[in-house]
Structure 1
């Protein structure tokens, strides 16, 4: 095994400070405080303490991405270490913002998903600053907003942030190396009817009944997706209906009904293809309900699949680093979605922690595994300097 001199006490202190700083995503509801505002302030302070060049941009009201740049000599690749500042909610969680260490693990909301990754990046920078190795390229450490909802932060960063050559995202993978995952499109479908008293339903048009025809067609479409040829890494595409809303009360014929759907895409599928298929689904529903009025809204999340080539230099660097640090390099697909495709450069997902811990009510992560991740990132960055 190959590792670096890691300051565990500093690592735990950094991560504990992050856990103590609530950054719960508001999932589309505006907040005067800004969901990640305090966490962005903390992370900027931590980056400044390392002497990095600081950048920031407000993406949504009161919600900003922050990053720090460790300058190289300018003739090497720019490498991004990226993570999200936000967490999911804490309903039912006892003491979510009170970090504590027990049996080699650190507990608290965000410990695993993914403030450990952000804390790991800080220690990577310290190691690089202490080392004698001259960096040819810049290393950028970024915290972005809104990963848990619509990924507005990484979308904005990819479009308006610094130019990048490679990126590593420290989502929890138990140090498996993920070069691919499905894309994700989230959108609302709405049927419109005509309100009437429920004692005279014939006087109205029931938007919920009409949505039933759409749901039947969507079920057929979902079955078709499961039967399509699977991507070798990501598997088959899929569709799920996750939310339904409609009507005002039981005594009225409902004049509206909405559903939210989740369409997972695989490499080779485009957003335009998916939208065309969904319009065809609505046309199919109209065969049974000719008067159907159904609108498909613009997706509020439109994330392409991640499909980084195994031959990419960043993949090879992380594979070699993993072999050096933990003696193995398991390459797989990430089961969920992430910010990774939005950074518009070859990107690898590899991080400490178990995805099963994410969003749980007893979130924790192994400190030893965070230290292994730190060594992997450092090895990979140093190898990429030789390009």
Structure 2
């Protein structure tokens, strides 16, 4: 079958209703971080129906990852699709949409051209497009030379107490290193990109800074040490550092580094403030090192002129692949597999297919940096809708993703017929 013939056949035999039903069923399995088990079981059943060898093991008690692999019939390369099973919470969703068709976040309400619900774009649309793509190839009687696999992990999202530290991704990496799950030659992580192909992503660290002085009655302020005044000096230093980032080096795909103070809490009731807290997030370009970023931040704090009785402590609460945060990552934007994926999207869909960079952090550093497996982000859906009451996905884009992924699987793995 020639490439144009395959493209035409994929269009002709795609079962759009079945593909949409798969996505609606996926959304209907509530999987807020910490409660991924039912959705993981649903996915394992889908992989079993595709005659894949499957596995499901807990990365934490009651919280499983699941995966499936189908060995190729020849000596083609191994392609893996990866995605996270958990979604963010839905607090306030039903109240926001009260009386509207979108009121139930798990009902997967479908308008003429969009499907609504928590996880629709982040990222059950990507997971279902990948599964439906292999199903479409099977219906087309395409036999793959290379191996195709899927790995679905929990604990990617943050926001629920005691969760959101990529425990699922860490477990997957450990199983790949141990040989329990086969290492891929290339991976697609299905975070929403409106079907662009992201070869780079930012890194981050979150810091919680506690500034401690000594409280005192307002009438005798000389008895105190003003933590709020010290905080002002620290904020000035932090904003000066951010200004240096903004005027400094820029990455072609993700722009400049940055530092954003997200919260300041402190003060005293008719008293000298004895303690203040600062929360910040630091954005890293792919060329930057997280260890250096930590040292840089701590040096700025240490060099800020403060009262000698002021003390500062720093906590880094959001360790991912690094104890203090998530590493930036990139592969060559001209990587042949990334360009092939972009070409497959362009062949099947009028939009998408551009090489770009992710303005968010997700888990490809575990693949690229830890395992040495080149990986990109690519999936239907608009990241700006994720984590909001507006979460939804375009029906047309989702169905196009199914065809594009099917074509990419066939062209990357090679065929035997």
TM-score class normalised by the smaller sequence = 0.7 to 0.9
- Is residue 210 from structure 1 mapped to residue 230 from structure 2 by the alignment? yes
Is the counterpart of residue 120 in structure 1 residue 129 in structure 2? Answer: yes
Q: Say yes or no: does 1:288 pair with 2:306.
A: yes
Of the candidates 290, 293, 296, which is equivalent to residue 277 of structure 1? Answer: 296
Post-superposition CA distance 1:235-286 (Å, at most 9, x none): 1101111133447x6366555433322111112110111011111111222x
Residue 240 of structure 1 contacts residue 261 of structure 1 at CA under 8 Å; is this kept in 2?
Answer: yes
Q: Matched residues in 2 for 1:37 and 1:209: separation?
A: 49
1:66 is matched with 66
Give the aligned partner of residue 354 of structure 1.
Answer: 382
Residue of structure 2 equivalent to 1:21: 29
Q: Cα distance 1:53–1:258, how it changes in 2: closer, same or farther (>3 A)?
A: farther
Establish whether residue 147 from structure 1 lines up as the match of residue 162 from structure 2: no
Shift of 1:14: 1.8
Count of equivalent residues:
377
**What residue number does 2:348 align with?**
325
Could you say if the C-alpha distance between residues 186 and 158 of structure 1 is closer, same or farther in structure 2, counting changes exceeding 3 Å?
farther
Match of 1:313 among 336, 339, 351: 336
Segment drifting more, 76-85 vs 147-156: 147-156
1:181 paired to 2:201: yes
Structure 1 residue 117: Cα displacement: 1.0
Mark the runs of 5 or more structure 2 residues left unpaired by the alignment.
95-103, 159-163, 320-324
Q: How has the CA–CA distance of structure 1 residues 219 and 135 changed in structure 2, closer, same or farther, with 3 Å as cutoff?
A: same
Asked whether the equivalents of residues 112 and 357 of structure 1 are also in contact (C-alpha less than 8 Å), the reply is yes
Q: Is the 8 A contact 1:93 1:362 kept in 2?
A: no
Q: SS where residue 55 of structure 2 aligns? A: strand
Distance in structure 1 (CA, Å) of the matches to 2:215 and 2:55? 52
Task: Give the superposed CA RMSD.
Answer: 2.6
How far 1:105 moved relative to its partner?
Answer: 1.6
Measure how far apart 1:113 and its partner are: 1.4
Secondary structure of 1:18's aligned partner: helix
Q: Deviations for 1:8-52, whole angstroms, at most 9, x for unmatched residues?
A: 222222211222222223xxxxxxxx3323322322233233332
- Residue 223 of structure 2 is aligned to residue 223 of structure 1: no
Q: Distance in 2 between matches of 1:140 and 1:99?
A: 27
Classify 1:206/1:42 alpha carbon distance in 2 versus 1 (closer, same or farther; 3 Å): farther
Other structure's SS at 1:100 match? coil
Residues 114 and 171, structure 1, Cα contact 8 Å, conserved in 2: yes
Cα gap change, 1:47/1:257 in structure 2, threshold over 3 Å: closer, same or farther?
A: farther
Matched, 1:374 2:399: no
Cα distance in 2 between the residues matched to 1:57 and 1:303: 24
The answer to whether the 8 Å contact 2:198/2:356 transfers is: yes
Report the Cα offset of residue 231 of structure 1.
1.2
Q: Normalising by the residue count of structure 1, what TM-score does the alignment of the two structures yield? A: 0.88
The residue aligned with 1:191 is 211
1:265 aligns with 2:284: yes
- Mean alpha-carbon deviation: is it higher for 61-70 or for 313-322? 61-70
Aligned partner of 1:338 in structure 2 is 362
Cα distance between partner residues in 2 of 1:187 and 1:39: 33
User: How far does residue 327 in structure 1 lie from its aligned partner after superposition?
Assistant: 5.2
